């Protein structure tokens, strides 16, 4: 099943994710000093569940005895930088036009892998969760070299599926809220097209606990430009609804609607210190990742 779905997704020239993400990360590092954090933090920041790969030095035996489960101690310097990637796995993310190097999902996965690489290289834990999709496996935030491999494996094995409804959205955001400790960074990678109407508000609500929010809107160039001039019949990915229109006549209205959607996200995120980064799949991934980092830096300043 997974293989069949995987074969349906147009990964195009965006694979292998490991190498591509490594290249992007190196592009980001180029010209800047490499300063991964060393050592442990100095201010205790709470406990969390142990996940394989965690440094055993921070395993808290007292907590094990008290709660009966493995827990690790966290310090303030680490919890601030936890990166939680929230990927939209709705069906619309599988869309790829002929002009694009691959599907939107593939591009989002590449961005996610590159961001993970950068975060992990800095010693920050990275986790992943999904909006929509069919039984996709989330990954709780963790650090360590093997985390990147596990994350890439998960990304490569994932394919878009059912879009999230309100309930699914609520559950996904609740998971994120739990795994993203105070000061975490939550990056949403989505086309923002087929999400429930309250998604922007619900996502913006994650800004509590000093979390930094960045939404990366990934669109196919055809979606971004609407380059039709002749009569077209357009079928929506999620609902199979068909719209018959004349390209020339409808372009302006469409672009305005698209921009209105982005403006809505901006309105929800910016007051909470968040940012919306606009990207198309033909864009340079390095530039997009840099935009995301800039958005994060502007938040911290």
Partner 1 sequence: MSFLVAAALALGAFVIAPVAAHLLRRGRAEEQEFPPAHLVPVAYRSARKKSRLEDRWLLLVRALLVFGLAIVGAVPFVRCSRLALDRDAGASVALALVIDDSLSMRTRVADADTRWEVALKGARDLLKSTREGDAVGIVLAGAPARLALAATTDLGVVRETLDKLKPADRSTDLRSAIRLAESSLKALPHVDKRIAVLSDFADDSGKLPDHALWIPLPELRQPSQNCGIAQARKEGLRVVVNVACTSSQAGKDRTLRLVAAKGPKPNPGGAELAKLVLKPQAGPQRLELELGEAAESVDAFLSAGDALPEDDYAPVAEVERAILIGVVADPATAAAQEGTATVLEQALNALTATSADGPSGEVRPLPLIPEDEKELAAYSAFIVDDPPGLSPESRTALEAWMNAEAGFAAAFLGPNVEAAQLGGSFEPFARGALTWEATTATSIADPTGFLGDAGASLKELAPRGRLQLAGALIPNSETILSWDDQSPWMLKRRVGRGQAWTFGLPVSVAQSDLALRPGFLALLERFLHDAAQAKGERVSDAGTTWRLSESDQTVEGPVGRLEATAVRNEEKTGSDRHVTPDLRGRYRIAAGNGDFHERIVTLDEAEILSQPTSIAETPLRKTTSRGPPSVEVSREFGLLLVALLVGELSLRLVSRLRLRNQNPA
Q: Which residues bind partner 1 (CB under 8 A)?
A: 91-92, 95, 97-99, 191, 193-194, 220-223, 226-239, 241-247, 249-250, 253-254, 257-258, 261
| Cβ 289 vs Cβ 114: under 8 Å | yes
| Cβ 142 vs Cβ 53: under 8 Å | yes
**Residue (of 37, 78, 75, 85) closest to 213 by Cα position:** 85
To partner 1, the closest distance from the beta carbon of 221 in angstroms equals 8
What are the tokens at 59?
């395993």
Cis? peptide before 16, omega within 30° of 0: yes
Q: Which is nearer to partner 1, 261 or 286 (CB)?
A: 261
To partner 1, the closest distance from the beta carbon of 225 in angstroms equals 9
What are the tokens at 80?
């601030």
Q: Please provide residue 153's backbone torsions phi and psi, each rounded to the nearest 5 degrees.
A: -60, -45
Q: Which is nearer to partner 1, 23 or 97 (CB)?
A: 97
To partner 1, the closest distance from the beta carbon of 263 in angstroms equals 13
**CA–CA dist 183, 174 (Å, integer):** 16
To partner 1, the closest distance from the beta carbon of 285 in angstroms equals 21
To partner 1, the closest distance from the beta carbon of 45 in angstroms equals 41
To partner 1, the closest distance from the beta carbon of 272 in angstroms equals 25
Name the residue with tokens 């690489």. 117
| Cβ 231 vs Cβ 164: under 8 Å | no
Alpha helices by DSSP H, the chain: 2-8, 17-29, 61-67, 76-79, 104-121, 145-156, 166-179, 199-204, 221-225, 247-269, 285-300
Q: Which is nearer to partner 1, 41 or 221 (CB)?
A: 221
Name the residue with tokens 């019949």. 233
To partner 1, the closest distance from the beta carbon of 12 in angstroms equals 15
Q: Which is nearer to partner 1, 79 or 92 (CB)?
A: 92
Q: Which is nearer to partner 1, 152 or 258 (CB)?
A: 258
| Cβ 200 vs Cβ 214: under 8 Å | no
**CA–CA dist 102, 92 (Å, integer):** 13
Q: Which is nearer to partner 1, 33 or 233 (CB)?
A: 233
Q: Which is nearer to partner 1, 115 or 193 (CB)?
A: 193
């Amino acid at each position: 099943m997974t293989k069949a779905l995987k074969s349906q997704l147009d990964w195009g020239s965006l694979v292998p994710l490991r190498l591509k993400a490594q290249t992007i990360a190196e592009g980001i590092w180029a010209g800047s000093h490499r300063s991964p954090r060393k050592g442990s933090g100095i201010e205790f920041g709470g406990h969390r569940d142990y996940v394989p790969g965690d440094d055993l030095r921070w395993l808290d035996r007292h907590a094990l005895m008290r709660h009966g489960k493995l827990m690790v101690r966290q310090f303030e310097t680490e919890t601030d930088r936890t990166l939680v990637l929230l990927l939209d796995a709705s069906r619309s993310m599988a869309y790829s036009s002929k002009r694009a190097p691959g599907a939107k999902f593939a591009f989002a996965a590449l961005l996610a892998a590159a961001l993970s690489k950068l975060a992990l290289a800095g010693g920050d834990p990275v986790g992943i969760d999904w909006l929509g999709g069919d039984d996709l496996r989330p990954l709780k935030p963790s650090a360590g070299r093997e985390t990147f491999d596990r994350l890439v494996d998960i990304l490569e094995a994932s394919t878009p599926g059912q879009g999230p409804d309100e309930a699914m959205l609520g559950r996904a955001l609740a998971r994120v809220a739990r795994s993203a400790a105070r000061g975490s960074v939550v990056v949403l990678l989505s086309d923002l097209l087929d999400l429930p109407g309250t998604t922007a508000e619900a996502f913006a609500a994650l800004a509590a606990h000093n979390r930094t929010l960045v939404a990366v809107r990934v669109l196919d160039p055809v979606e971004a430009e609407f380059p039709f001039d002749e009569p077209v019949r357009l079928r929506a990915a999620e609902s199979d609804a068909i719209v018959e229109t004349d390209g020339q006549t409808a372009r302006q209205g469409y672009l305005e609607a698209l921009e209105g959607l982005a403006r809505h996200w901006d309105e929800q995120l910016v007051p909470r210190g968040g940012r919306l980064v606009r990207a198309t799949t033909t864009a340079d991934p390095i530039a997009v990742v840099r935009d995301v980092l800039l958005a994060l830096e502007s938040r911290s300043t």
